[in-house]
Amino acid sequence: MASKKPVQVIAVTSGKGGVGKTNVSVNLSLAMVAAGQNVLLLDADLGLANVDLLLGLRAEKNLSHVISGERTLEEVIIKTPQGLNIIPAASGMQMMSELDPAQHAGVIRAFSDLSLSVDALVIDTAAGISDGVVSFVKASNEVVVVVCNEPTSLTDAYALIKVMSEDHGVYKFNILANSVRDPLEGVKLFKKLTRVTDHYLDVTLNFMGAVPYDEYLVKAVKKQQAVMQSYPQSPSSIAFRKLAKTAISWKLPQSASGHLEFFVERLIKFSAAG
């Protein structure tokens, strides 16, 4: 069965809002698709700047309709012309903690019945450290923390890393510097963050790379398109392709728990735990 293989589950988070999570999630996913991966992008943010909005798509149905049994998972997935599969945002994301056992089983079955082949599941999380964000991060295999050169971005990233490590047993984070003005700025941000985490926390931070500040990305957002789509040769698109290579090189979960339906099982378990 297609879903019975390890899936790389990557949560994109930041602590602070507006630093570029959705753009990173969408463009990283598109770059991974361009590199030959089968990618499923889960929009786990109920905010306004949704994945479907960024891509100019209109989602009619979402995960809540899968939970209620009205639709199969395949029916709610939107496939972009590039071949990226998207599960639209749903109030179902919040309902995860309120599911009865039959609904739990239904959601897990929906994922294990998915005949779509998936190499990676990328999750665009909401800003902040809500219970929802925590459970997505905990259920993932790799966590990408997006930071940018604003004082509150680093402090919010630090707060997120502190809570995830001290309260939830997540110790490994990939730091992605977004909107950098020069190539050194990303490394500097990373060093600034590790100086504090090395001192106060028991965590491992890995520098994933940087995405430059890019007017083309802003232009693309205005057109409701991903920069990877409309300006594939722009500086940020080049950076996203490099980041995709890095993400593809990450080790896949080896145990049975690395399969897609187990991700959903963990997600439900962590949601219920709050």
Of the candidates 27, 103, 174, 179, which one interacts with ligand ATP according to CB under 6 A? 179
Q: Between residues 17 and 106, which has the closer beta carbon with respect to Mg ion?
A: 17
Please tell me whether residue 237 binds ligand ATP under the rule CB under 6 A: no
Q: Between residues 163 and 238, which has the closer beta carbon with respect to ligand ATP?
A: 238
> CB under 6 A: which stretch of 103-111, 134-142, 210-218, 246-254 binds ligand ATP?
210-218
Q: Is 174 helix (H, G, I), strand (E, B) or coil?
A: strand
- Using alpha carbons, select from 235, 225, 259, 181 the residue that is nearest to residue 30: 225
Q: Between residues 207 and 213, which has the closer beta carbon with respect to ligand ATP?
A: 213
Asked if residue 203 lies in contact with residue 172, where contact means CB atoms within 8 angstroms, the answer is yes
At residue 219, φ and ψ (nearest 5 deg) are -60, -45
Residue 17 interaction partner, one of Mg ion, ligand ATP, none, beta carbon < 5-8 Å per kind? ligand ATP
CA distances from 269 to 69, 103, 188 (A): 20, 13, 38
Q: Between residues 22 and 179, which has the closer beta carbon with respect to Mg ion?
A: 22
> CB under 6 A: which stretch of 190-198, 209-217, 244-252, 263-271 binds ligand ATP?
209-217
DSSP string of 199-212, one letter each residue: HH---EEEEEEEEE
Contact pattern for ligand ATP over residues 85 through 104, marking x by CB under 6 A:
--------------------
CB of 255 to ligand ATP, least distance (A): 31
DSSP string of 117-159, one letter each residue: --SEEEEEPPSS--HHHHHHHHH-SEEEEEE-SSHHHHHHHHH
Q: Between residues 42 and 211, which has the closer beta carbon with respect to ligand ATP?
A: 211
Residue 7 interaction partner, one of ligand ATP, Mg ion, none, beta carbon < 5-8 Å per kind? none
3-state secondary structure 12-50: EECCCCCCCHHHHHHHHHHHHHHCCCCEEEEECCCCCCC
Near ligand ATP in 1-60, by CB under 6 A: 14, 17-23, 45, 47, 49
Element (DSSP H or E) covering residue 11: strand 8-13
Residues in touch with ligand ATP (CB under 6 A)? 14, 17-23, 45, 47, 49, 127, 178-179, 211, 213-214, 217-218, 221, 236
